[in-house]
């Protein structure tokens, strides 16, 4: 399962919220987490923010992607309570394709379904 968290430039205890999310995911032993910086987009204000504008860049957010089994992701969700004030949290089921070694076929595997 993939947990996606969209957050702005808000902080938690003087650190970026995305940093704290990754720290908590790591402490929980989740399989992996990545933070991506947005380059353009809009949210609830409907104002488009972009790095292409000649003005100061503000209001652009971050995308935190976390992947693990569904049960582990769902158990992790309460650790986000009180951390995200302006953002969006989504869950998606995934099909993970394990890359093949030389001479083998790739092995698609459902990742995130309860077994």
Task: Give the tens place of pLDDT for each residue, 25-51.
Answer: 999 999 999 999 988 878 777 777 776
What CATH number has the domain bearing residue 79? 3.30.70.120
The residue that leads in pLDDT, 8 or 53, is 8
pTM of the predicted model as reported, rounded to 2 decimal places: 0.80
Confidence (pLDDT) at 86:
85
C-alpha torsion angle, residues 27, 30, 32, 35 (rounded to 10):
-60
Alpha helices in 28-100 (DSSP H): 70-76
Supply the range of the domain harboring residue 60: 2-111
Provide the domain count of the chain: 1
């Amino acid at each position: 399962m993939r947990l996606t968290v969209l957050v702005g430039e808000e902080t938690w205890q003087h650190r970026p919220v995305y940093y704290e999310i990754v720290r908590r995911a790591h402490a929980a032993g989740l399989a992996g987490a990545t933070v991506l910086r947005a380059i353009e987009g809009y949210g609830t204000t409907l104002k488009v923010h972009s790095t292409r504008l000649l003005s100061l860049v503000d209001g652009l957010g971050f995308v935190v992607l976390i992947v693990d089994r569904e049960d582990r992701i769902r158990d992790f969700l309460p650790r986000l309570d009180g951390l995200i004030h302006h953002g969006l949290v989504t869950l998606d089921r995934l099909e993970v394709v394990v890359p093949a070694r030389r001479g083998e076929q790739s092995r698609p595997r459902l990742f995130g379904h309860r077994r």
